[in-house]
Amino acid sequence: MRKKIVAGNWKMNLLSAEAQELFSTISKEVTSSEKCDVMVFSPSLFISKLTEIKSNVKLGFQNFYPEEKGAFTGEISITQVKDSGADNVLIGHSERRAYFHEDHGFLKNKVDATLKHSVNVIFCCGEPLEEREAGNELKYVKQQLIDSLFHLNASEIVKCVIAYEPVWAIGTGKTATIEQAESMHKSIRSWIEEKYNSEIANSISILYGGSCNAANAKELFACPNVDGGLIGGAALDANSFLQIIASF
Ligand code: PEP
């Protein structure tokens, strides 16, 4: 059975007291026998406070720098991530690719750093609107995986989680249709099978992200190749996030 996951990406939102309140509220409801793993990617500033809250919700960083230490002003190293106890990270989010110019080579270095330091990764991929409109979405997403993830060997790739997040659906309120989501997830699984084998392809969790909310999560998570969601806006509201978790 593949691991089911619901992960919240708080992005650059909330102040410290709000973050602690939201995390506490969620933590009171998420039990150890939930049908899915639950994670929150908080602004890094709040992580140490949040790790003090007793919780079944895992914590993670939205960003880090793929070096162990050194003169990289303003950055958080992969070893600092590991040391924090919140050893989950997002890599390849479209906002990091677009606004911070993180390219394929840099993302590959980030992936390698997580494996070297036993940090868990959710690797995000997804096409912009113009690629979908041109009918290039499969080619585009496959290339993102080839460029930054498929250099891993079999024992490494099985440790990764993939999130398919069509850029045109992120924060826009426009969700991929069930058919669009399932078709891309199925294709991603087939490329993993092509590169590795079917056992590996069937063991890797692939999450959907892009305006997933309490109203559409159940239908999306019912798709055979959708193993959960990466949730932005709807993760900032405890009730919505809890309802998404309860969709499994
Ligand atoms: C995201 O940023 O990963 C995301 C899916 O955002 P939203 O749910 O707001 O579209």
Ligand 1 binding pocket includes 171 (Cβ within 6 Å): yes
Going from the Cα of 191 to the center of ligand 1, the distance in angstroms, rounded, reads 24
Residue 135 CA to ligand 1 centre (angstroms): 23
CATH architecture of the domain covering 9-14+61-232: Alpha-Beta Barrel (3.20)
Residue 233 three-state SS: helix
Nearest CA to ligand 1 atom 2: 232
Angle between helix axes 137-148 and 104-116 (nearest 10 degrees) is 50
Q: Any idea where the domains of the chain sit in the sequence?
A: 9-14+61-232
Closest C-alpha residue for ligand 1 atom 7: 232
Q: Judge whether 123 and 149 are in contact, CB under 8 Å.
A: yes
Q: Which residues of 213-238 are buried (b: 16+ CB within 10 A; e: fewer)?
A: bbebbeebbebebbbbbbbbbbbbeb
Please list the pLDDT of the chain residue by residue as tens digits (248 residues).
899 999 999 999 999 999 999 999 999 999 999 999 999 999 999 999 999 999 999 999 999 999 999 999 999 999 999 999 999 999 999 999 999 999 999 999 999 999 999 999 999 999 999 999 999 999 999 999 999 999 999 999 999 999 999 999 998 888 899 999 999 999 999 999 999 999 999 999 999 999 999 999 999 999 999 999 999 999 999 999 999 999 99
**Is the full-model pTM beyond 0.75?**
yes
Tokens in use for 171? 């924060």
